[in-house]
Amino acid sequence: MAKKVTVKDIIQKFDLEVLSGWDQLDRTVHVSDLYRPGLELAGFFTYHPVERLQLLGKTELSFIRELTRQEREERMHKLCHPDIPCFVVTRNFEVPAELIKAAEEKGVPILRTALSTTKFGSKLTNYLEKHLAPTTTMHGVLVDVYGIGVLITGSSGIGKSETALELVKRGHRLVADDAVEIQQTGEGTLVGHAPELIRYLLEIRGLGIINVMTLFGAGAVRDKKKISLVIRLEAWQEQRQYDRLGLDEERTQIIDTFLPQLTVPVRPGRNLAVIIEVAAMNFRLKGLGYDAAQQFVQKLGETIEDADDLD
């Protein structure tokens, strides 16, 4: 699921001047990529990405001025495809009359900004990538443990919120409880945050809803966090064989990103907060190149080899 961005949203965000197409400002922008038509102005329209917002800067407008009147009329007529969300002219440059005429005929808005093409393009790209990024909502708890974004999942009533409360008491920070809104901001990057309605709130069965920031201070919460590790809590199953060495690399998919996942069985007497703390620290160590399980297996192999040599 992605958010909707309209031309009107972009106008309000960047305070753009509308030169034409006032009745077409509800057009939707579907992609974050921008396009500066160059080959098209030279007459090559075989590949023209009309789904992109089109930028016209000093280079493009200078080229247009060098064309003959007939060439300008022909090229502007072809350039203004009805599927283009809008044109944006930068540096407050004057817009060719032929472009305005063709845009009005095709119903394509023309906007203008005082910013340079590069600066405006960078700002607009960042804005579109943020608002058009794929999003999803998951049932779980997101906490910041030693700088690692840990998403705790599991069935309802398994103890996710209680574990999060214990982690907050131990100095870690809550990001979201119950519902975690997740946005894929880049390739392999997931950022989670809480819906506005339940931000900073934690639901504890038998106690009710508590405000973590009010009880523990501003240092106990944060608005968003990159998710690096998923820990799934499940009721202990005697017949199931759980990983005891940590060699099995379990992964889970969220949107288009695969994240490492640990399955932690829940039974009376297990301190889940401490287990999650250690899991986060161990994840950091692996990122630094140290894997305790691999080291153990390597030493075990060396010990067996030494014993065989003695025989």
Statement to judge: residues 179 and 31 lie in one domain: no
Residue 304 has pLDDT above 90, yes or no: no
Residue 297 has pLDDT above 90, yes or no: no
Convert the pLDDT of each residue in 16-57 to its tens digit: 999 999 999 999 999 999 999 999 999 999 999 999 999 999
Q: Which of 48, 112, 160, 172 is catalytic?
A: 160
Statement to judge: residues 139 and 286 lie in one domain: yes
Residues 112 and 19: beta-carbon distance below 8 Å: yes
Secondary structure element (H or E) that encloses residue 237, with its range: none
Q: What is the mean pLDDT of residues 116-137?
A: 92
Residue 174 has pLDDT above 80, yes or no: yes
Listed ranges 154-158, 225-229, 261-265, 287-291; the one with the highest mean pLDDT: 225-229
Q: How many CA atoms lie within 13 A of 81 on its CB side?
A: 16
- Predicted local confidence at residue 193, as pLDDT: 95
**pTM, 2 dp:** 0.73
Q: What is the mean pLDDT of residues 159-183?
A: 94
The Cα diameter of the chain in Å comes to: 95
Statement to judge: residues 149 and 212 lie in one domain: yes
Q: Does 160 participate in catalysis according to the annotation? A: yes
In-domain check, residue 307: no
Q: Which of 48, 75, 178, 225 is catalytic?
A: 178
Statement to judge: residues 162 and 291 lie in one domain: yes
Output the average pLDDT for the chain: 89
* Strands, E assignment, 109-235: 110-112, 135-139, 141-145, 148-154, 173-176, 179-186, 189-193, 201-204, 208-211, 224-226, 229-235
Whole-Å CA distances, 154 to 151, 182, 187, 252: 10, 17, 26, 13
Residues 133 and 240: beta-carbon distance below 8 Å: no
pLDDT band at 250 (very low <50, low <70, confident <90, very high): confident
Q: What is the CATH number of the domain that holds 192?
A: 3.40.50.300
According to the annotation, is 32 in a ligand binding site?
no
In-domain check, residue 190: yes
Convert the pLDDT of each residue in 186-211 to its tens digit: 888 999 999 999 999 999 888 899 99
Q: Does 178 participate in catalysis according to the annotation? A: yes
b or e along 185-195 (b: 16 or more beta carbons within 10 Å of the residue's beta carbon)?
Answer: beeeebbbbbe
Q: Residues 6 or more apart from 131 whose CB is under 8 A from it?
A: 3, 5, 9
Residues 80 and 48: beta-carbon distance below 8 Å: no
Q: How far apart are CA 244 and CA 241, in angstroms?
A: 9
DSSP calls for 143-168 = EEETTEEEEEEESTTSSHHHHHHHHH
Residue 222 has pLDDT above 80, yes or no: yes
Statement to judge: residues 108 and 150 lie in one domain: no
According to the annotation, is 51 in a ligand binding site?
no
According to the annotation, is 228 in a ligand binding site?
no
Range of the domain at 253: 135-297
Q: What is the mean pLDDT of residues 100-127?
A: 95
Statement to judge: residues 127 and 159 lie in one domain: no
According to the annotation, is 219 in a ligand binding site?
no
Residue 245 has pLDDT above 70, yes or no: no
In-domain check, residue 306: no
According to the annotation, is 155 in a ligand binding site?
yes
- Predicted local confidence at residue 247, as pLDDT: 61
Statement to judge: residues 22 and 122 lie in one domain: yes
According to the annotation, is 203 in a ligand binding site?
yes
According to the annotation, is 287 in a ligand binding site?
no
Q: Which of 4, 58, 139, 205 is catalytic?
A: 139
According to the annotation, is 154 in a ligand binding site?
yes
Statement to judge: residues 151 and 197 lie in one domain: yes
Statement to judge: residues 102 and 228 lie in one domain: no
